């Protein structure tokens, strides 16, 4: 039976980085729904729009400035970037946490005769050593990681890169941080993104100004259970990123603003792309 006091507790701002009770990427139903969102070419939600992805890939390769790259695509989803990179003659490995996205990506690679290695793996458990010329992490995934996980990922990426290899990623810049991220909302649905049966969705957002973090919190309640999903979004200045990357022995750090075209959800001036190099030893 639903306890109203438990629901009321959800209106209280949680401690910074307190975990939710569930993760949507490992939920079989939500993961299948998320794949559909990834594949919608007109939405900037799970992935950016098709044209924006194509433009971004062109920019990535121009910035890398080399042929025949061995590329690691972290958080590859259904392979939208990996496929384009492979079609341009690069060797590509894609890593993602969702078995549904990875399964789709593998089928697409087979249908298009593309030699892409896809792994269903948590990139916090990456163990590759000195293998890749370029590691990419696109669609601001870097900013969803809590500091401890971010440090782990950077160590994994540094180890996976060849000396002189490049890590390229994007983040939400601090100019978009809003101390008033939005009001509470609720939704009742017979079936939708979160469940394949009737549910109540309670959503809220909380700002942590000192850390430049916004929490998007979603509580999904159905007749059998309630789950809390928490998504942390960090906003960075150039100085923030420089400090984070140099602590992990990256060098030649460069920033690129206004790369993305305007879109429904994000505007190019609010996203910062960054490159960092693993120094020759």
Query: How are beta strands 213-221 and 271-278 bridged, if at all?
Result: unpaired
**Is residue 198 in a domain?**
no
DSSP 69: -
Give the domain extent around 260. Answer: 28-173+236-278
DSSP codes of every residue in 106-127: HHHHHHTT--EEEEE--GGG--
Residues paired with 134 in a beta bridge = 71, 166
Nearest to 207 by CA among 21, 22, 16: 16
Number of domains in the chain: 1
Half-sphere exposure of 234 (CA within 13 A, CB side): 20
**Is residue 96 in a domain?**
yes
**Is residue 136 in a domain?**
yes
The predicted pLDDT at position 26 comes to: 76
**Is residue 55 in a domain?**
yes
**Is residue 221 in a domain?**
no
Rounded to an integer, what distance in angstroms lies between the CA atom of residue 112 and that of residue 234? 37
The predicted pLDDT at position 264 comes to: 47
Rounded to an integer, what distance in angstroms lies between the CA atom of residue 132 and that of residue 166? 9
The predicted pLDDT at position 214 comes to: 95
Nearest to 41 by CA among 257, 264, 268, 196: 264
The predicted pLDDT at position 108 comes to: 93
Q: Which ranges of the chain have pLDDT less than 50? A: 43, 264
SS3 of residue 279 by DSSP: coil
DSSP 76: -
The predicted pLDDT at position 6 comes to: 66
Question: What value does the CA radius of gyration of the chain take, rounded to a whole number of Å?
Answer: 19
The predicted pLDDT at position 52 comes to: 85
**Is residue 161 in a domain?**
yes
pLDDT digits (tens, 9 = 90+) for 155-192: 999 999 999 999 999 999 998 898 888 888 999 999 98
CATH (domain of 43): 3.40.50.150
**Is residue 21 in a domain?**
no
The predicted pLDDT at position 41 comes to: 55
pLDDT digits (tens, 9 = 90+) for 127-155: 999 999 999 999 899 999 999 999 999 99
Return all residues near 144 (Cβ < 8 A) that are at least 6 apart: 231, 232, 233, 234
pTM score: 0.91
**Is residue 191 in a domain?**
no
Query: How are beta strands 116-120 and 132-137 bridged, if at all?
Result: unpaired
DSSP codes of every residue in 156-223: HHHHHEEEEEEEEEEEEEGGG--SS----EEEEESS-SS-SS-EEEEEEEEEEGGGTEEEEEEEEE-S
């Amino acid at each position: 039976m639903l306890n109203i006091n438990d629901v009321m507790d959800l209106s209280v701002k949680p401690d910074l980085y307190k975990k939710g009770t569930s993760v949507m990427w490992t939920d079989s139903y939500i993961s299948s729904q998320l794949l559909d969102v990834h594949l919608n070419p007109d939405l900037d939600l799970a992935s950016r729009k098709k044209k924006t992805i194509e433009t971004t890939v062109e920019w990535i390769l121009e910035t890398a400035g080399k042929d025949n790259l061995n590329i690691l695509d972290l958080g590859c989803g259904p392979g939208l970037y990996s496929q384009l990179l492979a079609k341009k003659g690069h060797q590509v490995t894609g890593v993602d946490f969702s078995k549904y996205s990875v399964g789709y990506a593998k089928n697409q690679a087979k249908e298009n005769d593309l030699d892409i290695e896809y792994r269903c793996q948590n990139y916090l458990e990456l163990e590759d050593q000195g293998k890749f010329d370029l590691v990419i992490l696109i669609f601001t995934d870097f900013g969803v990681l809590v500091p401890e996980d971010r440090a782990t990922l950077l160590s994994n990426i540094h180890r996976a890169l060849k000396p002189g290899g490049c890590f390229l990623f994007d983040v939400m810049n601090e100019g978009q941080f809003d101390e008033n991220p939005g009001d509470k909302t609720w939704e009742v649905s017979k079936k939708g993104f979160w469940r394949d049966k009737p549910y109540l969705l309670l959503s809220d957002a909380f700002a942590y100004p000192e850390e430049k973090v916004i929490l998007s919190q979603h509580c999904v309640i159905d007749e059998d259970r309630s789950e809390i999903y928490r998504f942390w979004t960090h906003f960075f200045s150039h100085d923030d990123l420089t400090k984070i990357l140099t602590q992990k022995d990256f060098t030649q750090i460069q920033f690129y603003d206004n790369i993305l075209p305007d879109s429904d959800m994000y505007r190019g001036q609010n996203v910062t792309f960054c490159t960092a190099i693993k120094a020759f030893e």
